[in-house]
Amino acid sequence: MTKSTMTRRNHAVWVGALISLIGLISYFTFFARFPALRDVPKVNFALVLIGLAVSAWGLLRRRSLWSITGLAVSAACAGLLAAYVFVLSYGLPDAEHAIQVGETAPAFALPDQEGRITTLEEYRGSNLVLVFYRGFW
Amino acid sequence: MGTELAAVSVDPVADNRRVADQLGLDFPILADESHSVVTDYGVLHVGGGIGGRDIARPAILLIGPDGTVTWRHLTENWRVRIRPEKLIAVLRGVG
């Protein structure tokens, strides 16, 4: 095995780590904008798995602390994405206290984005779709 | 029968104005900074926000012309929200 081949193979671990990192970050910065790819992050899971596979292949070819670190970075990216998708994003409170169908909606009077006070009473006689958002845009 | 749309979050008016301007939203985004309305509707998520702030959990309610809740959707995962086409189908159903 020539020296240049060994160097390139050693780089594979970090190329894999970079693919995994892109797989993790691009979910939040890009792919989450598309409902189908947000609900089931197919592209992002594919990217982190490809990254992980490339890193693992690189480590098999050339074992060193540097390579192990690269694989660890790949694995961390895949783990963080999985943790967010399968655990963190389910972190919502029990819905048992939430208003039920058939109950009367509580009155409110809140300022809109122009500061104008808006009340539930203004919507009497119409259907109102009231959407609660987590916010912090 | 007309159907109106309004949003609620715990963010201040200025933040909502910025979002409405950026995204070109023409429906009201209501600022419930005291969390009173979010609490009344039972959708407070204690410590759910950045830095442990109390926020609203994602929730969509359909409130009928007489002020009664006629439909609701509370996601169990904040990444996964109802699709617009599903909501429109629900609205067609209530006429």
Instruction: Provide, as residue numbers in chain B, all residues whose Cβ is less than 8 Å from the Cβ of A135.
Output: 9-11, 15, 49, 55-56
Q: How far is A36 from chain B (nearest CA, A)?
A: 9
Looking at residue B82, what is its pLDDT? 86
Residues in chain A within 8 Å Cβ distance of B56: 132-135
Angstroms from A42 CA to nearest CA on chain B: 14
Of the two residues B64 and A6, the one the predictor is more confident about is: B64
* 137 residues of chain A, pLDDT tens digit each: 455 555 555 789 999 999 999 999 999 999 998 988 999 999 999 999 999 999 999 999 888 998 999 999 999 999 999 999 999 988 888 888 899 999 999 999 999 999 999 999 999 999 999 999 998 76
pLDDT digits over B1-52, tens only? 589 999 999 999 999 999 999 999 999 999 999 999 999 999 999 988 888 8
User: What burial letters (b/e) apply to A31-62, b meaning 16+ CB within 10 Å?
Assistant: beeeeeebeebeebbebbbebbebbbebbebb
Q: Indicate if ipTM > 0.85.
A: yes
| A127-132: strand order across its sheet | B29-31, B3-9, A127-132, B59-63, B69-73
* Residue position matching structure tokens 């009497």: A124
Three-class SS state of B64: coil
CB A123 within 8 A of CB B4: yes
Local structure of A120: helix, strand or coil? helix
Report yes or no: B25 and A114 within 8 Å, Cβ to Cβ: no
pLDDT, tens only, B77-94 = 888 888 888 888 888 887
Report the C-alpha gap between A102 and B9 in whole angstroms: 23
pLDDT for position A7: 53
